[in-house]
A and B are shown apart, each in its own frame.
Chain A
Amino acid sequence: NAGVTQTPKFQVLKTGQSMTLQCAQDMNHNSMYWYRQDPGMGLRLIYYSASEGTTDKGEVPNGYNVSRLNKREFSLRLESAAPSQTSVYFCASSVHRGESTDTQYFGPGTRLTVL
């Protein structure tokens, strides 16, 4: 059981380049999330997918797009990277968003630098 996996682990982009961050979970969870973590600001939700076939904006969605490819996979795309998107990106999953007992489990993270 790998839990939540993310690729790549590290990435350096130039301003204006695009890339896709991949996330997969093998826990049969319904809900998946993308967060970014910046120093002093904690984890901020970018997008989430409450269930397969649905996606919704979180707290900081500008500059990002997502795709819930199937129940296991949830990708995050940066269409035109900006230095402000330099951050650590975490994918997470949970059984069912919206239930107060729901617990999120995190992947190892992707450290992205935009020059």
Chain B
Amino acid sequence: QKEVEQNSGPLSVPEGAIASLNCTYSDRGSQSFFWYRQYSGKSPELIMFIYSNGDKEDGRFTAQLNKASQYVSLLIRDSQPSDSATYLCAVYFVRGDMRFGAGTRLTVKP
């Protein structure tokens, strides 16, 4: 059983739309959740993290966490072509290690 699952995509949205990226995880005791963006051929870079149930906003990005459903999502408002990348969900498990999902590839079309 995969511990962190993401739809591989590709997810395609038009410029200006809201992109919604989803992630589920298996460890009910997990406490912290991270979203990374990875451009093709580059390294992952942190977008934001969330620890508490509910929403956390940072500019055009909103992370949403529902621990009861073991679900975390990332919304990107007013999507731009420069947002086209692979988005990695990472979960900090109770045993102290971070596990990454395989990523969702997002394409924003002008």
**A-to-B contact residues, CB < 8 Å:** 40-45, 48, 58, 90, 97-98, 100-109
B residues with CB within 8 A of A: 4, 8, 31-32, 34, 42-46, 49, 51, 88, 90, 92, 96-98, 100-103
Selected contact of A103 from candidates B34, B100, B103, CB within 8 Å: B34
A106 in contact with B45 (CB, 8 Å): yes
Contact assessment for A90 and B42 in the assembled complex, using a CB-CB cutoff below 8 Å: no
B96's partner among A40, A44, A98, A103 (CB-CB below 8 A) is A98
- Closest Cβ neighbor of A97 among chain B residues: B96
Nearest residue (CB) in A for B4 is A42
* Number of residue pairs A-B, CB distance < 8 angstroms: 46
Contact A105 B46 (CB under 8 A): yes
Distance in angstroms between the alpha carbons of A23 and B60 in the assembled complex:
33
Subset of 16 A-B contacts with CB under 8 Å: A40-B102, A42-B100, A43-B100, A45-B98, A48-B97, A101-B32, A101-B49, A101-B51, A102-B92, A104-B90, A104-B98, A105-B46, A106-B44, A106-B45, A107-B43, A109-B42
In the bound assembly, the distance between CA atoms of A102 and B109 in angstroms comes to 34
Return the contact of B102 from the options A42, A101, A107, A109 (Cβ within 8 A). Answer: A42
Q: Which of A44, A102, A106 contacts B43 (CB 8 A)?
A: A106
Contact status of A42 and B88, CB under 8 A, knowing A101-B51, A103-B46, A108-B42? yes
Across the interface, A40 reaches (CB within 8 A) one of B8, B34, B88, namely B8
